[in-house]
């Protein structure tokens, strides 16, 4: 290239740049207005308007059977059915290693037999204790009854006889004493008159003294009987009764204690027997659970294939792989009812309501579309997204697909477009035409050769167009690229009044509506589509 040609090209470029600057200056007036440029103008029209919210998601079965490992601890797979296999109810899906459980089963069976023997022994001991208690109590009650009867026998039999005999002895002795006294008096008269020898007189005197002594002894015996012997005998009998009553109470208490202990041992052995049997049943149940069968007809989907794991644990199931208790292994989705699982960004959460209609398109089924309705919106943001990016808050949302569609498969990628609002005859403009200015939504409307800022009231938007509630008429021409000052900063315009922009600053609505940046690996999930 020669030097002259180079200079010509440079000159042309310089002229273009100067012309562009001059045009920009001419477009901008001293009063803030500008002249219209047909290349960036939009003519306002009135017509049908649908506000949609489109999100990517995944096809899932509403009703699916989840096969989990119910074997305690960790074990390994010795057999697993191929993924994608179509199975019938009762078909074997997975078999886990049960060798350690079989060893525990033998040990537990021995333990059950030992506890059964202990239980039978304690039961027999309980019966023996009951019989022995009955015998001991009966013996103690009989001894007590004998003690009571001994007292009654004494009071009603022995004591009257003893008293009668003692009183009779006193009476007889008194009679003998009177008779001996009379004979002595008579003998004394005869002796004084010399009709009786001294020997005979002394014999009668001795008989009188002997009778007197016998009377004194009889009276003393009666006194001792009444005042000492009788009282002592009653005390002894009462003491015997008290001892027998105490012995009876002691025997009853000992019997009760022995019975309680025997019953406690019997219950403890019974409880231990039950516990060991339950452990045996549990081991048997665990062994049975090492084989997992299909709970219903369906297609086998490995849980690692249908679930997202932030740990990266997505290896397919295989023989020899360790699994843990309650780990999801296989999903058996049903095709009777399918749904779409999406995530709604918090900025769009207020637009989505239950029962809103949605259009679903499947990546794997081009040219087909399905309808559905929003059936569930999570009350709290997804914990996984918050963990990976605290600035991202998305809410799990479910859309139930209408009808039965055998072509749908769980795990398919899809797009769901939710009909937020529909208008039969509405005015709308491209979202980039609306800017925020002084906490107001404005558009720049063409007035001949000038454009002026005009306040409008905005409604909902679908990230492409925004509904104009008031402020514009059909046929108005608005500037698609409103002029921006150097001091512009993001501020809410349409449908957002929480942040007030600085005086005189404008911000396009398209910038105001953008959500926060999604986390790595989830680009686009939970975000509203940019125009």
pLDDT tens for the chain, residues 1 to 531? 444 444 445 455 544 444 443 333 333 333 344 444 444 888 888 888 888 888 999 988 877 888 999 999 999 999 999 988 889 999 999 999 999 999 999 999 999 999 999 999 999 999 999 999 999 999 999 999 999 999 999 899 899 999 999 999 899 999 988 998 988 898 888 888 888 888 888 898 898 899 899 999 999 999 999 999 999 999 999 999 999 999 999 999 999 999 999 999 999 999 999 999 999 999 999 999 999 999 988 888 888 776 544 444 456 788 999 999 999 999 888 767 788 999 998 888 888 999 999 999 998 888 899 999 999 999 988 887 777 777 788 999 999 999 888 788 877 899 999 988 888 888 989 988 888 888 888 988 988 778 888 889 988 887 788 889 988 888 888 888 877 653 333 333 434 333 333 333 444 554 444 443 333 333 333 333 333
Residues of the chain with CATH 2.40.50.100: 64-97+291-333
pLDDT of residue 37: 47
With a CB cutoff of 8 Å and minimum separation 6, the contacts of 365 are 407, 412
Where are the extended beta strands (E) located within 33-151?
A: 41-43, 45-61, 64-68, 74-80, 86-87, 92-96
pLDDT of residue 422: 82
Residue 339 CB-half CA count within 13 A = 16
pLDDT in tens, 171-200: 999 998 899 898 889 888 888 888 888 888
Collapsing DSSP states into helix, strand and coil, what is residue 110? helix
pLDDT in tens, 110-135: 999 999 999 999 999 999 999 999 99
Collapsing DSSP states into helix, strand and coil, what is residue 399? strand
Angle in degrees, 0-180, between the axes of helices 230-289 and 99-153, rounded to the nearest 10: 170
Distance separating alpha carbons of residues 255 and 138, to the nearest angstrom: 11
Is-above-0.75 flag for pTM? no
Distance separating alpha carbons of residues 427 and 474, to the nearest angstrom: 7
Residues of the chain with CATH 1.10.287: 102-288
Cα-based torsion angle of the residue sequence 72, 78, 84, 89 in order, rounded to the nearest 10 degrees: -70
Topology of 64-97+291-333 in CATH? OB fold (Dihydrolipoamide Acetyltransferase, E2P) (2.40.50)
Residues of the chain with CATH 2.40.30.170: 31-62+334-512
Angle in degrees, 0-180, between the axes of helices 230-289 and 159-192, rounded to the nearest 10: 170
Helix, strand counts (H, E) of the chain: 8, 22
Unique residue bearing structure tokens 């309808």: 371
Local structure of residue 519 (DSSP, 8 states): P
- Give domain 31-62+334-512's CATH superfamily: Efflux pump adaptor protein, beta barrel domain (2.40.30.170)
Topology of 102-288 in CATH? Helix Hairpins (1.10.287)
With a CB cutoff of 8 Å and minimum separation 6, the contacts of 335 are 61, 404, 405, 406, 408
For 264, list phi and psi in degrees, rounded to 5. Answer: -65, -45
Distance separating alpha carbons of residues 356 and 349, to the nearest angstrom: 13
pLDDT of residue 484: 60
Size (the chain), residues: 531
């Amino acid at each position: 290239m020669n030097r002259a040609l180079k200079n010509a090209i440079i000159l042309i470029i310089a002229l273009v740049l100067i012309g562009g600057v001059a045009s920009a200056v001419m477009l901008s007036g001293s009063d803030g207005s500008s002249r219209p440029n047909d290349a960036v103008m939009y003519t306002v029209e009135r017509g049908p308007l649908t506000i949609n919210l489109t999100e990517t998601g995944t096809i899932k079965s509403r009703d699916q059977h989840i096969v989990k490992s119910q074997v305690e601890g960790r074990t390994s797979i010795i057999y697993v059915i191929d993924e994608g296999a179509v199975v019938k109810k009762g078909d074997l899906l997975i078999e886990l290693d049960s060798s350690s459980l079989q060893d525990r089963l033998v040990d537990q069976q021995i333990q059950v037999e030992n506890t059964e023997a202990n239980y039978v022994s304690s039961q027999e001991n309980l019966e023996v204790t009951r019989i022995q208690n009955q015998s001991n109590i009966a013996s103690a009650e009989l001894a007590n009854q004998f003690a009571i009867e001994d007292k009654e026998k004494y009071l009603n039999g022995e004591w009257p006889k003893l008293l009668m005999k003692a009183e009779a002895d006193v009476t007889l002795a008194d009679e003998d004493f009177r008779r001996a006294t009379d004979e002595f008096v008579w003998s004394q008269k005869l002796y004084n008159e010399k009709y009786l020898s001294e020997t005979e007189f002394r014999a009668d005197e001795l008989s009188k003294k002997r009778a007197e002594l016998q009377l004194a002894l009889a009276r003393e015996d009666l006194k001792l009987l009444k005042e000492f012997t009788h009282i002592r005998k009653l005390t002894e009998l009462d003491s015997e009764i008290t001892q027998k009553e105490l012995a009876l109470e002691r025997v009853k208490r000992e019997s009760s204690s022995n019975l309680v202990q025997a019953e406690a041992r019997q219950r403890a052995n019974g409880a231990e027997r039950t516990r060991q049997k339950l452990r045996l049943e549990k081991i048997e149940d665990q062994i049975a659970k090492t084989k997992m069968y299909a709970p219903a007809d369906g297609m086998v989907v490995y849980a690692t294939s249908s679930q997202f794991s932030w740990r990266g644990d997505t290896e397919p199931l295989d023989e020899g792989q360790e699994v843990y208790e309650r780990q999801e292994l296989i999903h058996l989705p049903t095709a009777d009812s399918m749904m779409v699982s999406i995530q709604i960004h918090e900025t769009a959460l207020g637009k989505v309501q239950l029962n809103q209609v949605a259009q679903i398109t499947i990546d794997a089924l081009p040219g087909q579309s399905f309808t559905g309705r929003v059936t569930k919106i999570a009350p709290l943001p997804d914990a996984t997204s918050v963990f990976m990016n605290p600035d991202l808050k998305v809410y799990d949302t479910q859309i139930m697909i209408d009808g039965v569609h055998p072509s749908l498969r769980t795990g398919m990628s899809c797009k769901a477009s939710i009909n937020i609002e529909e208008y039969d005859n509405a005015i709308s403009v491209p979202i980039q035409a609306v800017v925020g200015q002084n906490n107001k939504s404005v558009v720049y409307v063409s007035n001949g050769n000038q454009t002026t800022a005009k306040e409008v009231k905005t409604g909902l938007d679908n990230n492409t167009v925004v509904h104009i509630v008031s402020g514009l008429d059909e046929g108005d021409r608005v500037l698609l690229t409103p002029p921006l000052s150097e001091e512009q900063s993001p501020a809410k315009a349409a449908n957002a009044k929480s942040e007030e922009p600085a005086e005189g600053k404008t911000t396009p609505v398209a910038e105001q509506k953008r959500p926060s940046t999604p986390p790595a690996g989830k680009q686009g999930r939970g975000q509203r589509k940019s125009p």
